Structure formats: C-alpha cells, structure tokens
Amino acid sequence: MKDSLQQLIAGPCSAETREQVLTTAKELAEIKELTYFRAGIWKPRTAPGSFEGIGVEGLAWLKEAQETYGLKTITEVATPEHVESCLNAGVDALWIGARTTVNPFYVQQIADSLKGVDIPIFVKNPISPDVGLWMGAIERFKLAGSSQVSVIHRGFFSYSKGLFRNPPMWEIPIKLKTEFPDLQIICDPSHISGDANMIEEVSKFALQLGMNGLMIESHPSPKVAWSDAKQQVTPDRLKEIVTAILTNKANQAIKQDELISLRKDIDLADRKALLEISNRMQIVRDIAQYKKENSATVFQIERWKHVLEESKKQASELGLTEEFVEDLMNLIHKESLHIHHLIYNS
Ligand code: PEP
Ligand code: MN
C-alpha cells in the first residue's frame, strides 16, 4: 500500500533567506517520497504589514535547491507576472492559492498566461466552501490547454473557531473525487489544522479517505518562521510523520477482512435508518390527511420547537453531536412539510 502516498509536497510556508531555503531543501531531499519542494515567494496575507513574501529574489534560491539537491520545485502564483517570473526561473510546477481561486477573473488571467506551456498546476480550493467555483477554476486551466491539473484541499474559512484553522469539510473533496475519479487530490493538513501537532492525524485521515497525496509545510526552526509559525514542522518531524503514515497504511492492508465486515454492518445500519424514516413519513402522511379532513393548521411552531429540543437533548446520550442532530431533524422536517404540502393540495 506504499503507493497510496503518490505525492508529497513539502517545504517552508515562505522562502525567507537563501540559507533557510537551502537548509530545508537539503534535509527534505532525504525523504524519498518527496515529489516537490515548496516555498511561497509571494504571500497573500490577510493584513498589510505582515511579511508579504521575498519576491523574485527567492526564485534564484529555488533554482539553487533544484540544481544542488535534484528537487522539483513548486510555488504559488497569483498574477500573470508571477507566472512569467516562475517560467523564466525554471520552477517545475505552480499552485494557485485559496484566495486566488475565489476570483474567476484572476484564474482566467493566469490560465491565459500559461497558454502553450504545459506545466503541472495545483489548484487550491477557494476559501469559501463552493465546489462549483473550485471546479470552474480547474476547467479554466484545462480549457487553456493544461493537461496536468491537480487540486489541493486546504480546508475552508469558518467564523466559528474550533479545532481547525480551516475546517476540512471532507464531503467537499469527496464530492469532487466522485465527479472526477481521475483527479489527483492533495491534502494540505498544515492549512487545515493550523497546528503542527495535528499534521500526522489529519494526514492519516486524508489518505484513508482516498486522497492521493499531501502538502506539508516544513521549516528548520518553525517558532521563528516569518509566516504560519504554528503549523510548520521541522524536517526531522516530517520524516517521522512520513514513516508513521507509511506504516499505518501497511497495517491497514492486513485488516482488510475486518473492514469488509464493518462495511456490511454499515450497509445494514443505513437500511434500518432509512426504513425508520420511511415509517415516520407514513405517519406524517396520516397526520396530514387528518389535518386536511379536519381543517386543522398544518404547521405549529411550538410543536416543532418541542420535537427539535427533545431530539437535541438525546444527542450526547446517543453519542451524536447536537449540531448533527439539528441538521438531520431539519432535513426530516423539510421533507415532512413537503408531504403536508402535497396532501393539502391534492
Ligand atoms: C500557502 O500554501 O502557504 C498558502 C498561502 O496557502 P492557502 O492559499 O491555502 O492559504
Ligand atoms: Mn502557509
């Protein structure tokens, strides 16, 4: 199962100094799974005044890393000028940042500037959880002639500050994979978690979901990094993580039988859950018919509030989150209202 980590992109969030780039490159070159050495040259920062990238000067350091350690290099581009500088400097691949993917005008300009140059492109998801916008960006590069378009899943912006810096919303990359099975999806646990201590577990989970590779930020002294200090791991720690991931995969291969049996249990549980929902909807039909015959009010807000509150109270007892129970009940309620509507108008 070793080939499950088909791509490993690693390197610092930002290129800071020649020494920092070359030290990191030297260490990372020892990881044989490494496919690209990354370093941000132009940094899209939320607030002005933070380090906005070293600029073109850093491209020469990437070239040196490429030539000295035989690494392929990748960096972020946000404008046609960035693309031109990268192509002149011999950068091997480009990624489009989350703040650029949101804007179809920028994406189109970048795609146009690449016409006739078939270099690998990695499109990060837009910061908003909009799978259509993500697919649109992929399409723009393909239409402009790029035959090597992959994507990077780096999580989505959220107002509520929870466990993740950018909650992964795994259902979104899974939807993308379902629609485009051949599309390579690389997970970026660094920007998803925002926390160096979470990189290993998020990486393992992503690969278990069938993602094809990882992009991990690595810095020789994360604490003093000029950007994203909390989420970068040292090259030594990255080596440990890669070993842990590969061993983890091997263990799973042995447990295939167990997995097949658990999947059967899941299928059965799904069937039971659907059957119960179907029974519930039959009761809704009976109530709707009764209400129609007796000219009773279809919707009573107090009754619905009561149902919702009672269900949420049971959540933790059932090992479920309140949020999930609320979403599920709202979905069930929506279908119940639809049934009422059909019967009322029949
Ligand atoms: C990065 O990879 O350093 C970066 C800025 O990423 P994102 O566009 O995902 O925020
Ligand atoms: Mn970063």
DSSP 215-273: EEEB-SSGGG-SS-GGG-B-HHHHHHHHHHHHHHHHHHHHTHHHHHHHHHHHHHHHHHH
Cβ neighbours of residue 243 closer than 8 Å, sequence gap 6 or more: none
Counting every residue written for the chain, the total comes to: 346
Cβ of 10 less than 6 Å from ligand 1: no
pLDDT at 45: 82
Residues 39 and 14: their CA atoms lie apart, in Å, by 5
pLDDT at 2: 40
The pairing of beta strand 73-76 with beta strand 36-38 = parallel
Question: Are residues 228 and 108 part of one domain?
Answer: yes
Comparing C-alpha atoms, which of 232, 207, 203 is closest to residue 220?
232
Question: Are residues 340 and 222 part of one domain?
Answer: no
Comparing C-alpha atoms, which of 79, 93, 75 is closest to residue 146?
93
pLDDT at 1: 37
Question: Are residues 146 and 265 part of one domain?
Answer: no
Please give the number of the atom of ligand 1 that sits closest to the Cα of 190. 2
Determine the distance separating the centroid of ligand 1 and the alpha carbon of 230, expressed in angstroms. 14
- Give Cα 335 distance to the centre of its chain: 30
Question: Are residues 290 and 237 part of one domain?
Answer: no
Please give the number of the atom of ligand 1 that sits closest to the Cα of 188. 9
Q: What share of the chain is helix, strand, coil (3-state, %, to 5)?
A: 55, 10, 35
Cβ neighbours of residue 40 closer than 8 Å, sequence gap 6 or more: 12, 13, 14, 15, 53, 75, 76, 227
- Give Cα 294 distance to the centre of its chain: 52
Cβ neighbours of residue 297 closer than 8 Å, sequence gap 6 or more: 291
Determine the distance separating the centroid of ligand 1 and the alpha carbon of 180, expressed in angstroms. 23
Q: Whose CA is nearest to atom 10 of ligand 1?
A: 98
Domain span at 333: 256-344
| CA quadruple 265, 271, 275, 280: dihedral sign | positive
Cβ of 124 less than 6 Å from ligand 1: yes
Q: Do 58 and 76 contact (CB within 8 A), yes or no?
A: no
Question: Are residues 188 and 85 part of one domain?
Answer: yes
Question: Are residues 272 and 246 part of one domain?
Answer: no
Number of domains the chain is built from: 2
Question: Are residues 130 and 246 part of one domain?
Answer: yes
Question: Are residues 284 and 222 part of one domain?
Answer: no
Backbone torsions φ then ψ of 71, nearest 5 degrees: -95, 150
Cβ of 153 less than 6 Å from ligand 1: no
Tell me which of 250, 268, 293 is where a domain ends. 250
Backbone torsions φ then ψ of 211, nearest 5 degrees: -70, 150
pLDDT at 90: 98
- Name the residue of 110, 154, 157, 228 whose CB sits within 8 Å of the most ligand 1 atoms, as the mutation to test its pocket: 154
Digit-by-digit pLDDT tens for the chain (346 residues) are 344 789 999 999 999 999 999 999 999 999 999 999 999 999 988 888 889 999 999 999 999 999 999 999 999 999 999 999 999 999 999 999 999 999 999 999 999 999 899 999 999 999 999 999 999 999 999 999 999 999 999 999 998 878 999 999 999 999 999 999 999 999 999 999 999 999 999 999 999 899 999 999 999 999 999 999 999 999 999 999 999 999 876 556 666 778 888 888 999 999 999 999 999 999 999 999 998 899 888 778 888 899 999 999 999 889 999 999 999 999 999 999 999 899 988 8
Determine the distance separating the centroid of ligand 1 and the alpha carbon of 324, expressed in angstroms. 30
Cβ neighbours of residue 21 closer than 8 Å, sequence gap 6 or more: 12, 15, 39, 58, 61, 62, 64, 65
Tell me which of 234, 250, 266 is where a domain ends. 250
CATH number at residue 326: 1.20.59.10
Question: Are residues 185 and 149 part of one domain?
Answer: yes
Question: Are residues 199 and 285 part of one domain?
Answer: no
Q: Do 142 and 107 contact (CB within 8 A), yes or no?
A: no
pLDDT at 259: 81
Tell me which of 224, 250, 276 is where a domain ends. 250
Q: Which helix (H) or strand (E) segment is 7 a member of?
A: strand 7-11
Question: Are residues 293 and 182 part of one domain?
Answer: no
Q: Which two tokens stand for residue 36?
A: 């690209």
CATH number at residue 229: 3.20.20.70
Given the structure tokens 């440990």, which residue do they identify? 240
Question: Are residues 267 and 125 part of one domain?
Answer: no
